[in-house]
């Protein structure tokens, strides 16, 4: 392997690694704008210039490849390449490039959404000049909509061309291009093809400055007010890794988080903006019992007692409705508890989309169908007819996708039931049909594991705090067990689940980490 000396660091790198990659992997900060690991290298921002021994000009580190050289060409008889990233020449050049980039920049950080996570701001602070030497008029252009949810502030744009490369290489939709030339260059969308593809939101993420903005987030908050938690998108069976940005009980933004085994660097707009549908729901935060058609609040103890009254002695006649929207743990708990039959509402399929880059939006818009089946193997194919055949009169239901769960058939089934328990976080149509509602957690409050359609188990982390007396869904089901049979915490539960389903054995949140693990036995190692 080639030996690279970068500043004082001597490292062996893979043949063909770029200097920039090697530096970033080893904690050396080389500033860059146009480079993005998922996109073609263009080397146009000139920000990542470094000095390479033996080369007369500074070289862009994003396009300088380290390879093995013959012994007689090794530097100091030892190194295949020697690079300086911090010397005066390099630092001065960064200053120069930043000066150019800021000439026409409006310096409107106080009202810019990117402020606080802006590479132009950060590098200017680190390397730039305190004062501008530019005495001329700035180039000023009005903002424009590139698509229904993406706005461009041309004045902040540094023309790194990441966004145009994204639509060409990742989404393959090619809506964006650089219009005009030279100093007049600007990012534009084709007149007859606005930026409305389902990956459009990513361009705002990859924009290194505050030029491309998602209308969903613009001027809503400041990044330093928000807290961030890593989690997993729950809007299809791909399970894109995300970072959720929230303040108190409100999510403001979801961003994709890198996971090369799942989503690469990106996510789709279905998942990105999907969190809004949980926002204006009427929440259920206490156990509710319906009498004479009216719900009234009861205590947890009373609620559990009522379930005992209905279930005890009739266990074989109770049906459980699992949910592909819930975690493995919750489904496992219900599947294990129900002695009658278990199944699900009819599955809703949507359009499957695969982009040229391989990025996929699954037709299965639930996050955990695979996991649910893994930990509840006795799921029946057609729950509706089984319920009729077996004359089931008591049913325990986990909430599903809001207001999409029950069709005509199920409406009829539910009206025939003597007792319906729904574990739900909101007063949905389904919840309203219940005799007893047990307040569980909303999707962004849940914690547990989910398994994507490729068999990768991922850690769904809770982002928002619980509401009122609502409890984690697995814990509610835990209460249904006799005292001695309960799990003391979710880790015990996972252990128990692993004992019953060996492909899940040995799984802990710690092991899954923020990247998850494939099934097929790897969890044990």
Partner 1 sequence: MNAFKPVLTEHIHQKDCHTLPFYKSVGGYKALEKVLAMQPDAVIQEVKESNLRGRGGAGFSTGVKWGFIPKDSDQPKYLINNADESEPGTFKDRLLMNKTPHQMLEGMIIASYAINCNTAFIYIRGEFYKEYQLLKKTLAEAYQANLLGQGIFGSDYNLEVVIHRGAGAYICGEETGLIESLEGKRGWPRIKPPFPAIEGYLHCPTVVNNVETLACLPHIINHGADWFKSIGSEKGPGPRLFCVSGTVNNPGVFEEPMGISLKELIFDRAGGIPENKQLKAVFPGGSSSAILTAEEALDVKMDFEDLVEKKSMLGSAGVIVMDETVDMVQACLNIARFYAHESCGQCTPCREGTAWLVKMLTRIVNGQGKPDDIDMLYEITDNIGGRIDFSKGSFGKTICPFGEAVAWPVRSFVEKFENEFRSYIQQVEAVA
Question: SS3 breakdown of the chain: % helix, strand, coil, rounded to 5?
Answer: 30, 20, 50
Piece of the chain touching partner 1 by CB under 8 A; list 52-60, 205-213, 238-246, 275-283: 52-60
Cα 238 to chain center, whole Å?
A: 10
CB of 99 to partner 1, least distance (A): 7
Should residue 388 be labelled a site residue for partner 1 when binding is judged by CB under 8 A? no
> Does the footprint of partner 1 cover residue 91 (CB under 8 A)?
no
Considering the complex, state which of residue 156 and residue 326 has its C-beta at the smaller distance from partner 1. Answer: 156
The single residue among 4, 23, 47, 519 that binds partner 1, judged by CB under 8 A, is: 47
CA distances for 249 relative to 93, 226, 230, 464, 513, angstroms: 45, 11, 16, 6, 24
Distance CA 173, CA 196 (A): 9
Q: At what angle do helices 328-337 and 490-500 cross, to 10 degrees?
A: 70
CB-nearer residue toward partner 1: 181 or 482: 181
Element (H, E) at 289: strand 288-291
| Shortest CB 97 distance to partner 1, Å | 6
Assess 100 for contact with partner 1 (CB under 8 A).
yes
Six-digit token string for 401 = 């996708």
Query: How many residues at the interface with partner 1, by CB under 8 A?
Result: 39
Whole-number minimum distance, CB 179 to partner 1, in Å? 10
Shortest reach from residue 193's CB to partner 1, in Å: 17
User: Which two tokens mark 301?
Assistant: 């103890």
- Residue from 137, 282, 391, 408 touching partner 1 (CB under 8 A): that is 137
Tell the smallest beta-carbon distance from residue 33 to partner 1 (Å).
8
> Shortest distance, CB of residue 269 to partner 1, whole angstroms?
27
Site string for partner 1, 103-132 (x = CB under 8 A): xx----------------------------
Region 268-287 residues binding partner 1, contact defined as CB under 8 A? none
Instruction: Return the DSSP state at 39.
Output: S
SS (HEC) of 215-229: CCCCCCCCHHHCEEE
Q: How far is the CB of 277 from partner 1 (least distance, A)?
A: 40
Q: Which is nearer to partner 1, 207 or 392 (CB)?
A: 207
Neighbouring C-beta atoms of residue 77, cutoff 10 Å: 8
Query: Is 43 among the residues that bind partner 1 (CB under 8 A)?
Result: yes
- Rounded-to-integer distance, Cα 458 and Cα 460, Å: 6
Q: How far is the CB of 178 from partner 1 (least distance, A)?
A: 7
Indicate the residue among 185 and 522 with the shorter CB distance to partner 1.
185
Helix-then-strand count for the chain, H and E: 15, 27
Main-chain dihedrals φ then ψ at residue 499, nearest 5 degrees? -65, -40
- Element spanning 74, H or E: none
Question: What sign has the CA pseudo-torsion 267, 273, 276, 277?
Answer: negative
Does 20 participate in binding partner 1 (rule CB under 8 A)?
A: no
The number of beta carbons lying within 10 Å of the beta carbon of residue 88 is: 9
CB 164 within 8 A of CB 176: yes
For the segment 150-189, give every residue that binds partner 1 (CB under 8 A): 158-159, 161, 177-178, 180-185
Question: Do β-strands 419-424 and 394-398 pair in parallel, antiparallel, or remain unpaired?
Answer: parallel
Q: Using CB under 8 A as the criterion, which residues of the chain lie in contact with partner 1 when the complex forms?
A: 41-47, 49, 56-58, 60, 63, 65, 93, 96-97, 99-101, 103-104, 133-137, 139, 158-159, 161, 177-178, 180-185
């Amino acid at each position: 392997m080639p030996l690279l000396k970068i500043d004082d660091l001597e490292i062996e790198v893979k043949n063909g690694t770029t200097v920039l990659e090697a530096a970033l992997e080893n904690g050396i900060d080389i500033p860059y704008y146009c480079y993005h690991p998922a996109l073609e290298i263009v080397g146009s921002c000139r920000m990542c210039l470094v000095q390479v021994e033996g080369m007369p000009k500074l070289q862009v580190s994003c396009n300088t490849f380290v390879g093995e050289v013959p012994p007689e060409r090794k530097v100091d008889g030892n190194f295949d390449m020697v690079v300086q990233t911090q010397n005066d020449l390099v630092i001065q050049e960064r200053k120069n490039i930043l000066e150019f980039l800021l000439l026409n920049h409006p310096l409107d950080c106080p009202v810019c959404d990117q402020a606080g996570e802006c590479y132009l701001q950060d590098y200017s602070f680190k390397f730039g000049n305190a004062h501008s030497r530019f005495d001329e008029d700035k180039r000023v252009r009005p903002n424009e909509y590139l698509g229904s949810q993406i706005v461009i502030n041309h004045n902040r744009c540094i023309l790194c061309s990441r966004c145009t490369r994204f639509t060409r290489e990742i989404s393959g939709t090619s809506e964006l291009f650089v219009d005009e030339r030279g100093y007049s260059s600007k990012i534009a969308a084709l007149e007859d093809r606005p930026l409305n593809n389902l990956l459009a939101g990513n361009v705002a993420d990859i924009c290194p400055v505050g030029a491309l903005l998602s209308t969903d987030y613009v001027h809503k908050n400041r990044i330093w007010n928000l807290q961030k938690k890593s989690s997993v998108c729950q809007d299809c069976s791909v399970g894109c890794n995300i970072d959720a940005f929230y303040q108190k009980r409100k999510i403001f933004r979801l961003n994709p988080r890198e996971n090369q085994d799942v989503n690469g660097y990106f996510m789709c707009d279905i998942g990105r903006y999907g969190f809004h549908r949980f926002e204006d729901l009427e929440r259920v935060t206490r156990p509710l019992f319906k009498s004479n058609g009216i719900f009234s609040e009861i205590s947890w103890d009373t609620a559990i007692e009522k379930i005992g009254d209905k279930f005890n002695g009739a266990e074989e006649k109770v049906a459980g409705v699992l949910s592909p929207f819930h975690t493995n743990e919750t489904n496992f708990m219900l599947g294990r508890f129900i002695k009658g039959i278990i199944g699900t509402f009819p599955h809703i399929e949507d359009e499957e989309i695969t982009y040229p880059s391989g990025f996929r939006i699954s037709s299965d818009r639930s996050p955990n169908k695979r996991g649910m089946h893994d930990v509840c193997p006795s799921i029946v194919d057609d729950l509706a007819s089984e319920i009729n055949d077996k004359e089931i009169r008591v049913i325990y239901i986990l909430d599903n996708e809001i207001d999409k769960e029950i069709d005509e058939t199920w409406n009829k089934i539910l009206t025939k039931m003597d007792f319906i328990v729904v574990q739900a976080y909101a007063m949905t149509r389904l919840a309203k049909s219940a005799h007893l509602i047990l307040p569980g957690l909303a999707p962004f409050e849940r914690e547990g594991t989910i398994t994507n359609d490729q068999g990768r188990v991922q850690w769904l982390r809770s982002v928002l705090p619980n509401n009122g007396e609502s409890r984690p869904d697995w814990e509610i089901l835990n209460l249904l067990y006799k005292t001695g049979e309960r799990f003391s915490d979710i880790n015990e539960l996972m252990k128990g689940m692993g004992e019953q389903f060996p492909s899940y054995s040995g799984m802990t949140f710690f092991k899954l980490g923020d990247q998850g693990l494939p099934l097929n036995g790897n969890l044990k190692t």
